[in-house]
A and B are shown apart, each in its own frame.
Chain A
Amino acid sequence: MDNLGNIGTTEEQIELLDVATNFCRDKSPIEKVRALIDDDLGYDPDVWREIGELGWLAIAIPEEHDGVGLSMAEVVPIAEQMGRNLLNTPFGSTTLSAQVLLAGGSDAQKAAWLPKIAAGSAATLALQEDNGDWDLTNIDAQGTVNGDSVTLSGKKQFVVWANNAELIIASVKIDGDVRFALIERGAISDDALRRQAVIDETVRSYELTLDGLTVSADALLDGTRTRAVLEAIELAGSLIHSAEMTGGTQAVIDYTIEYLNTRKQFDKIIGSFQALKHPTVENYVEYEKSRTHLYSAAHCFSDQGRGEVAVRMAASQAHGTYSHAADRAIQFHGAFGFTHDCDAQLYRRQAIFKGALNGDAAWHRDKLSNLLFD
């Protein structure tokens, strides 16, 4: 099979891994993660500003648009360490939005938005709808062109961080074709955004009502590049999610090990019992496979053919492993695991949300099987 890729790193990637490891650990202690759950905004604006100042939102943006000019490979270590420390901010949605603009934006659109994003403005995507289908082309929201303007209608779901994003990129159908509209947050009334109750309490997610919204025809992405945009969303999105989930897996395993190394029952540290030790080792083995797939996906990302195989493998492995490791983390904490105070639930809930947003392990395997066997 010649579409199986390799693994490798870049110098910049490893430098960023080092910096991000320390930054995310220092800025996102678990007490702070928990405090932010009850906060309206859901993230620390000072930390978000620092992320912008560090240039992390500019990493995969070309220099001509005030970016750093690196690639998605260098975004991976940052997203990984953010996931590891449950440092949830609009970083992922903003990075992905920039990739969407690069894939389907006109020169003017790129010039208008990419420098802003590179400088620290948040952006997000409005893709999902009520039907719960991960197929991004199965949508009902509409756009109607009237001369120079486009009238939008319908509802989008799971628009993460929408309240504080300056740009929302929404998918709609225009004359039966999937198109993407750039909507400025300022154009959206507060009534059009409804905060959803979502299983991951560390994220802010909204339903966006498009009815009554009008954008300029200039705000549509190039209709001939819709396929490239969809691919960017699926692949860059999956890569970012895989990184966050792999980081989360490492954290939930470490969290479990710490408990197994301190809790005593029957006069023994419970980590000495094989009923707990062996499945923890199995989860750890799966975690290392996740990380291997993750850095292979980062390495192969722009490689035609191999990139998608590597990313789908990473996404499937990461979601399956994160889900199971966090599930066992709850169980192995005993009755404490059943409480909201035990951190295991934070990871378990996040794994469910990430899968819901980006496709679960089986979904990615299905896509992968077509690439491998057909």
Chain B
Amino acid sequence: MADKPNAAELKEYADEADAWFKENTVRDPGFMLPLTFMEVSTDQQFDFLRDWQRKVYEAGYLGASWPKEYGGGGLHSDYQRAATRAMKKYDAPIMLNAIGNGWAGPLILDLGTEEQKQKYIKPMLSAEDIWCQGFSEPENGSDLGNAQLKAVKDGDDYVLNGSKIWTSLGDRAKYMILLARTDFDAPNKYAGLSFFLNPMDVDGITTTKIKKLTGEYGFVQCFFTDARVPADCLFGGEGNGWSMAMKTLEYERGAKVKPVGGYFVKELDVMDIVELAKNSKRGGKPLLDDPVMRDKMTQFMIDIQALNLNNTRRRMPQLMQDRPMGLPLMNKLARTDLIQRLTEFSLEFQGSKAGYYVGDENAVDDGYWHRSYLNSFSATIGGGTSQIQKNIIGEHVLGLPKTR
């Protein structure tokens, strides 16, 4: 366990990080940067973000609190938090390798073998090895436990057949965390699932790009046709796939393994919307003089402030006694829905300019708001739809009976 820094040590580190991000952060490379790891569309964007992650890692500001022996910095997590604060301060680009650093990495550090840790952790931090996630299937999205991609043991290999879909970075990844069915006769659907650290550069795995509602690319469908992968890719043992998949979700909340640092999704700066509203006109008058728009914007401010403060309150057990899992489990639902409503509202500000789109020279902020609104659905659908989140909260927080 790394030592907790004293105030002077932490300040020295934070000042160095601040200076580094001030010096090195490129906010406008001359093309639109993705706001989330799910929006990486062009080679230009991918190359830029991969280089950026490597640079941040090499400077010591990513994985600073992961174990030194596997490529981390070995420092107390307060150091990493200070570095992440500096990234936010300078509005630095996102970290590209979200599935690796946020999901696979913590899982491997927690439950992997020494060999797996040596092999996977460092190249994922440096973004040399990009990771993707193979959970959803064309016929099994919200009902993830029903995943059907078939994995059959054959000698020293597993043979994979089936398809995964909505795979961000799937065409650029070296590895996939894969949920596959190894037992079709298991007592229940969950018990038949297994978890793989699956190499993507294998005969029989192909990908097809999927065009998003924004008109951009960013995710793929993966096809597995008699693809043979070594049996040691199996992680956590046959039949434990569901619990491994659920564990990756726990790491998102910072349980057990220290967060890697940085962010994979750029938070919308709400003050930008307030500014946009203040600078907009309606019927020739300032938009915020319109009582309806003014009231709506005020309501949004109340909601935004609540969610920001929820993040502080969730670390205050004295105010979380009755339903301690409430705030952690509602965060995704509340935040993604709010961003969706807010970005939608930002189009209402724009009058006839709401009709422009990315690419038109007259579009407000180069179409940023339009793109943000359309992309907001990736967050209310991906990672468990808002409707599934409501089931989870209803069942696990409020104790209501399962739907089905």
Contact = CB atoms under 8 A, between A and B. Distances in A.
Interface of A: 1, 4, 6-7, 9, 14, 17, 250, 257, 260-261, 268-269, 271-274, 277-278, 280-282, 284-285, 288-289, 291-293, 295-296, 313, 316-317, 362, 365-366, 368-369, 372-373
B295 interface: yes
Q: How large is the interface on B (under 10, 10 to 19, 20 to 34, 35 or more residues)?
A: 35 or more
B198 to A, nearest CB: 34
A278 B390 CA distance: 6
Given A1-B271, A281-B390, A293 B326 contact: no
Contacts, number: 117
Interface centre among A17, A261, A281, A284 (most CB of B within 10 A): A281
Interface stretch (B11-19, B296-304, B351-359): B296-304
A85 to B, nearest CB: 14
Contacts of B390: 274, 277-278, 281-282
Contacts of A372: 298, 301
B299 A365 contact: yes
B271 A257 contact: no
Nearest to B302: A313
A123 B326 CA distance: 38
Interface stretch (B65-73, B107-115, B248-256, B306-314): B306-314
Nearest to B318: A14
A281 B299 CA distance: 20
Contacts of A9: 316, 318-319
B268 interface: no
B398 A292 contact: no
A206 to B, nearest CB: 34
Interface of B: 271, 274, 278, 288, 294-295, 297-299, 301-303, 305-307, 309-310, 312-313, 316, 318-319, 322, 326-327, 330, 333-334, 387, 390-391, 393-394, 397-404
Given A272-B402, A274-B390, A316-B299, 8 more contacts: A1-B271, A7-B316, A272-B401, A277-B400, A285-B334, A296-B309, A368-B301, A369-B288
Contacts of B271: 1
20 contacts: A1-B271, A17-B318, A261-B401, A269-B401, A271-B401, A272-B401, A277-B394, A278-B390, A281-B398, A284-B330, A284-B393, A288-B330, A292-B306, A292-B313, A293-B302, A293-B309, A369-B288, A369-B295, A372-B301, A373-B274
A373 B288 contact: yes
Contacts of A292: 306, 309-310, 313
A282 B333 CA distance: 10
Contacts of B295: 362, 365-366, 369
Contacts of B306: 289, 292-293, 313, 317
A7 to B, nearest CB: 5
B211 to A, nearest CB: 31
A278 B398 CA distance: 11
Contacts of A285: 330, 333-334, 393
Contact of A291 (B305, B319, B404): B319
